[in-house]
Amino acid sequence: MTAPFFRRLRAGAGRLKRRVVPTGVMLMYHRVAKVAADPWDITVSPEAFEQQLQLIAHHRVRLLTAAEMAAALANKRLPKRSVAITFDDGYLDNLVCARPLLERYGMRATVFVCASEVGQPKGFWWDRLGVMVDQAERLPERVIVDGSEIDLWGVATDRREAAHLLWKSLVGHDQQVRDERLESIARQLGLKRNPVGARIMNEGELQQLTDGGLIEVASHGWSHRPLSELPASEQRHEAERSRNRLEEILGRPVAGLSYPHGSRGPNTAAIVRAAGYAYACGSRPGLVRNGEDLFDLPRMEVRDGTPEQFERFLLDHVLS
């Protein structure tokens, strides 16, 4: 895959250099899998992931779970060279592909799970949309979503851009509206059947994921809507309902939340804190250090790339 390695990481690197004594990093992954297409740039190959784990092992970093990292930050006692490995969403490949590799190297990780989608058989809506755009024999000039025309040919230069245009018409809506719109888009793209996206873990698989204590599960909200676009009551619902369901499935406390789309409004942190969480993270690039806002922890998104690039990152920002 030729996706730019650490795209966001590079964007954040300039800002990082001006920070004082960076001490740790939360790495953000979504999927570890072999895929034919990756329109959202969220997949790291198993080979690249294993090489990254080997480098983490080689350089003897302090590997913490996200909850441990947050607790250390709260006590202003983050050890130097700290790294936390995190995943967002709750893809099955986290269990079948990433977990065996983490086990091989004795590494712990945190998986932030979108709670309403646990066991949902069709896949995440963005993946279904990605498959639709990929499978359509020919993209129509325009697609009508909820009465508004989306001009695909005039704006998008390829299928990836077309998928992003359609994505925008779905992202802020709840599951029912998204499903209706996806069905309508599928028809307009000439597809006879609604495609299915990559598998999401079900309850049993989530329990398996956490068996043995190597991997902890935390919340990625209830419906994966951007919290900044929701009124306070719905943000509260997202935080509370997701935590309740995950705690019910796993029989253990859920301490953290990662903001879907990295999105948070001015009152989100207070709402998440009041819902009983100990920390929250987004997708703002940056390193963590003592004094960090526990409800706005930055993370670095990791992409496929050469082992040298990953090692350079560790050397420059975590091990220096």
Q: Decide whether 89 or 238 has the Cβ nearer to Zn ion.
A: 89
Q: Decide whether 281 or 314 has the Cβ nearer to Zn ion.
A: 281
Q: Decide whether 89 or 304 has the Cβ nearer to Zn ion.
A: 89
Residues 80-99 binding Zn ion (CB under 5 A) are: 88-89
Q: How far is the CB of 129 from Zn ion (least distance, A)?
A: 14
Q: How far is the CB of 8 from Zn ion (least distance, A)?
A: 14
Q: Which residue has the tokens 């329109």?
A: 39
Q: Residue of minimal CB distance from Zn ion?
A: 88
Exposed/middle/buried for 158, CB within 10 Å: 0-12, 13-18, 19+?
Answer: exposed
Q: Decide whether 122 or 142 has the Cβ nearer to Zn ion.
A: 122
Residues 187-246 binding Zn ion (CB under 5 A) are: none
Could you say whether residue 301 binds Zn ion (CB under 5 A)? no
The site string for Zn ion over 38-77 (x = CB under 5 A, - otherwise) reads ----------------------------------------
Question: Which value, to the nearest 10 degrees, does the dihedral of the CA atoms of residues 146, 151, 157, 158 take?
Answer: 40
Closest CA to 206 of 124, 277, 121, 118: 118
Token pair for residue 194?
């609604």
Q: Decide whether 64 or 115 has the Cβ nearer to Zn ion.
A: 115
Q: How far is the CB of 249 from Zn ion (least distance, A)?
A: 18
Q: How far is the CB of 253 from Zn ion (least distance, A)?
A: 22
Q: Decide whether 87 or 143 has the Cβ nearer to Zn ion.
A: 87
Q: How far is the CB of 126 from Zn ion (least distance, A)?
A: 9
Q: How far is the CB of 220 from Zn ion (least distance, A)?
A: 6
Q: How many residues bind Zn ion (CB under 5 A)?
A: 2
Question: Which value, to the nearest 10 degrees, does the dihedral of the CA atoms of residues 169, 171, 177, 180 take?
Answer: 60
Residues at the contact surface with Zn ion, assessed by CB under 5 A = 88-89
